[in-house]
Structure formats: structure tokens, C-alpha cells
Amino acid sequence: MLLDMDPQGTAEAWSEWRKEEPPVVIPAKTPTLVKTLDKAAAHGADLAVIDTPPLAEAEARSAAKAADLVLVPCRPNAFDLHSIRTTTDLTRFAAKQAFVIFNAGPIPATRLYAETTELVNEIGMQVGPIRLSERAAFRHATGSGKSVKEAEPTGKAAQEVEGLWLWLCKQVGMRARRRVHTSTKVTA
């Protein structure tokens, strides 16, 4: 299940584009987050991902307190690195393990990732070992209401997502289940 705490509602919009395909996306509010998570668990949800708006302290604080693990998506650039300082403080307040996950960065940028990893460490956070690179497959899949695992199951973007999923499951002590996706190709 995916809980959307972001007022922009992008996760909800993506869910509508999926036309009832999982995961279930539910809007969530700060005052009722714990109750929403309890209901989800009672209905069989074994994993909830909470999407919070960037730099929204109340939502992020509430989500961090309820989470087992905090993942902070971050582009490897100065502006994003500057903004995660607030998130670092929130994760310390919530006493939760947190990892920065680099996303939407260039593929061949060894030096860039080494330098940004060093900066993240100086801020006081850890960088997750998997990054999601800037790939057209992410844009194409999202626009059609799919995941890259559905749209291009054998592509590099899908491999990155699979790696992140397996690593995430290990972090939270959850057995990784693999879904088999079939894709339909349409030719014009």
C-alpha cells in the first residue's frame, strides 16, 4: 500500500492512471496517520510506503515516527543536498534509521556520486547502495500508469528498482516476493 501525504496528490493521480491495479494508494493526513496504518495492517497490508511532501515538517515528522525505515530520495545536486538537512534533523528526532537514495542523476558519474556521498555523510546521513538513474523508462512508465518493472521488465531501470526492492526488504527484515509482470506491446 502507498499512503499519499503530499497535497499535490501525485501518488493518487498515478494510482488513477493504473485503473485499479495494485498497489492501493490511500490519501493520508498527519493527525490520522497511525490509525490509517493500523487499518491497513488489519486489512492485510504487510508493507506501507508513506509519500510525504518535501520540506513539510509536520507530515515528515509524523511519517518518520511511524516508519521502520526512512528513505530520502535526493538528486545528486547542491539544491537537493541542501534541503535534506531538515530531513536529517527529523530522522534524528524520530530515532529512525534513514538512507538517502540518489535518483534522477546521470548514469556515468562516478566522481559526482563519490562527492555527493561524502557530503551526505558530512550532513550525518547514510547513502543507500542502490541508486535510480535518470532513465527515459521511468518517465514513460509513469505517464502510462505503470512501473518500470511492468513497462520494461528486463530493462536497466527495472533492474535498479529490483535491486532497491531487495535491499529494502533486507533492511526491514521482510521476505522479498517477486511479482511476475506481463507487458503488452502495442504497435502502430
The last residue of a domain, from among 117, 135, 153? 135
CATH classification at residue 82: 3.40.50.300
The reply to whether 152 and 178 lie within a common domain is yes
Based on the fold, state whether residues 94 and 187 are members of the same structural domain.
Answer: no
Greater confidence (85 vs 133) lies with 133
Q: Are residues 36 and 81 in the same domain?
A: yes
Alpha-carbon dihedral 35, 37, 38, 39, rounded to 10 degrees: 90
The b/e string for 154-171 (b: 16+ C-beta within 10 A; e otherwise) is ebebbebbbebbeebeee
Instruction: Give the pLDDT score at 185.
Output: 33
Tell me, yes or no, whether 154 and 77 share the same domain. Answer: no
- What is the pTM assigned to this prediction? 0.86
Task: Based on the fold, state whether residues 76 and 151 are members of the same structural domain.
Answer: no
Q: Which of 118, 135, 152 is the last residue of a domain?
A: 135
- The pLDDT-based confidence of 181 (bands split at 50, 70, 90) is very low
Structure confidence at residue 84 (pLDDT)? 86
Query: Quick one: 35 and 112 in the same domain?
Result: yes
C-alpha cell, 33: 496517520
Number of domains in the chain: 2
Q: Check: CB of residue 99 under 8 Å from CB of residue 128.
A: yes
The span from the CA of 153 to the CA of 173, in Å, is 25
CA distances from 143 to 1, 18, 93, 137, 157 (A): 20, 10, 36, 10, 15
User: Containing domain of residue 68, as a range?
Assistant: 2-135
Whether residue 141 sits in one domain with residue 130: no
106 in the same domain as 74: yes
Same-domain pairing of 188 and 145? yes
pLDDT bucket at 188, cuts 50 / 70 / 90: very low
The pLDDT score that the predictor gives to residue 179 is 53
Q: 21 and 100 in one domain? A: yes
Residue 70 φ then ψ, to 5°: -115, 125
Is the same domain home to 107 and 60?
A: yes
